[in-house]
Amino acid sequence: MRSLLPLLILGCPALALAQPSEPPPPPPGDGTGQPAGTPPPYNPGTPAGPYAGPTNGGPAYGPGQNTAPYGQQPQPYMQQEAPNLKSGMTFELNLGIGWIRAANDSDSETSDLGIGGLNLGVGGWVNPKLAISGRIAGVTYSEDGASLTQGFLGVSAQYWIDDHFWAGGGVGFGIIRVDIDGFGDDSKGGFGLDGRVGYSFMTTSENTFNVSLELTPGFFSENDQSFTYTGIAFLLGYQHL
**Whole-number Cα distances in Å, 148 to 46, 95, 100, 186:** 95, 17, 8, 10
Report pLDDT for 10.
47
Report pLDDT for 32.
57
- Does residue 44 belong to any structural domain of this protein? no
Report pLDDT for 223.
84
Which residue segment(s) compose the domain that 170 sits in?
Answer: 89-100+113-240
Which CATH number belongs to the domain containing residue 128 in this structure? Answer: 2.40.160.20
Q: Structural domain tally of the chain? A: 1
Report pLDDT for 16.
46
- Does residue 175 belong to any structural domain of this protein? yes
- Does residue 179 belong to any structural domain of this protein? yes
Positive/negative CA dihedral, 81, 162, 124, 138: positive
The alpha-helical segments, DSSP class H, found in 85-156 are none
Q: What is the pTM of this model?
A: 0.65
Which residue numbers in the chain have pLDDT < 50?
Answer: 1-18
Predicted confidence (pLDDT) per residue in 139-198, tens digit: 999 998 899 999 999 999 999 999 999 999 999 999 999 999 878 788 999 999 999 999
Report pLDDT for 17.
47
